[in-house]
C-alpha cells in the first residue's frame, strides 16, 4: 500500500492539517484492538475526505463500509447544517465502538449506522445523495456503483477506496484473486462510463473520484 518513499510520505503528512484528538484516539484504538487496522482511512486520507466534503457541502452522504467510523466522522465534518450521513457495515461487532466515537465527536444526530448487507439495504434508501464513499467488499464495487449511479443527482460525487489495491491492478492477476479482478473491472467501468468524469488519485491505496455529469 505504501507507494511513496518513507521520507517523502513523512513530509506529506507533516504538511497536511492534523487529525483531531478524537480521530487520533480512534486511530490508536483501532490499531490496538481491531483486526486489520490498515483498513482505517488514517490521517492523510481522512483529511482528504474531510476537505472534499467541505468543498461539496453535502446534505446527504452514503458510506458503504464503516469499519470503526473514522472516515464517516471525517466526511461528517463537511455536512450542511441538519445534514445526514448514512453508513453501512456488515460487522455488528464494531457497532458499539462506532457509535461511541460518533457521539464523542458530536455527530450522533447526523451519522446513522445501519448494520447489514449493503446490497440488500441500498435499494431501500432514498438515493438522493450528494456524496457516496465506497470502501467495502471489493467484489461488489461494480454492483454498488450500478445500484446508485442512475438515481444520484447531477453533480453528485462518488469516491471509491483501494482502487490501486497495493499495485496489484497493474500486475498479472493470480488465479482466484477475485478482489483484484473485480477492481480492474470496476476501474475500467468508470473510465468507460460517459455519464461521469473521473480522476484516480494515488492517495494511500488509490481513490477513484467520480463526478456525475
Those residues whose C-beta lies under 8 Å from the C-beta of residue 176, and which sit 6 or more positions away, are none
> Is residue 137 helix, strand or coil?
coil
C-alpha cell read off for 190: 468508470
Kindly report the backbone phi and psi dihedral angles of residue 83, in degrees, each rounded to the nearest multiple of 5, phi listed first: -75, 170
Give pTM, 2 decimals: 0.96
Q: Taking the CA atoms of 195, 197, 201 and 207 in sequence, report the sign of the dihedral they define.
A: negative
Write phi, then psi, for 157 (nearest 5 degrees).
-120, 145
Whether the per-residue pLDDT at 87 is higher than 80: the answer is yes
Question: What is d(CA 145, CA 158) in angstroms, rounded to the nearest whole number?
Answer: 9
For residue range 103-125, what is the model confidence (pLDDT) as tens digits?
999 999 999 999 999 999 999 99
Average pLDDT of the chain? 96
Q: What is the pLDDT of residue 76?
A: 98
Q: Could you give all domains of the chain from N- to C-terminal order, each with its CATH number? A: 6-212 (3.40.50.150)
Amino acid at each position: 500500500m505504501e507507494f511513496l518513499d518513507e521520507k517523502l510520505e513523512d513530509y506529506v503528512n507533516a504538511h497536511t492539517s492534523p487529525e483531531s484528538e478524537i480521530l487520533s484516539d480512534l486511530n490508536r484504538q483501532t490499531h490496538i484492538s481491531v483486526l486489520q487496522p490498515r483498513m482505517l482511512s488514517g490521517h492523510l486520507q481522512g483529511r482528504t475526505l474531510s476537505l472534499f466534503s467541505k468543498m461539496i457541502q453535502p446534505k446527504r452522504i452514503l458510506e458503504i463500509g464503516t469499519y470503526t467510523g473514522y472516515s464517516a466522522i471525517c466526511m461528517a465534518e463537511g455536512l450542511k447544517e441538519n445534514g445526514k450521513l448514512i453508513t453501512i457495515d456488515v460487522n455488528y461487532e464494531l457497532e458499539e465502538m462506532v457509535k461511541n466515537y460518533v457521539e464523542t465527536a458530536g455527530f450522533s444526530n447526523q451519522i446513522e449506522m445501519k448494520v447489514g448487507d449493503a446490497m440488500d439495504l441500498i435499494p431501500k434508501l432514498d438515493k438522493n445523495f450528494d456524496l457516496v464513499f465506497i470502501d467495502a467488499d471489493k467484489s461488489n464495487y461494480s454492483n454498488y456503483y450500478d445500484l446508485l449511479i442512475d438515481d444520484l443527482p447531477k453533480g453528485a460525487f462518488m469516491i471509491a477506496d483501494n482502487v490501486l489495491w497495493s499495485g496489484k491492478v497493474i500486475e498479472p492477476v493470480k488465479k482466484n484473486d477475485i478482489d483484484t479482478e473485480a477492481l480492474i473491472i470496476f476501474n475500467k467501468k468508470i473510465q468507460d462510463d460517459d455519464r461521469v468524469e473521473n480522476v484516480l488519485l494515488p492517495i494511500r491505496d488509490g481513490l477513484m473520484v467520480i463526478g456525475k455529469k
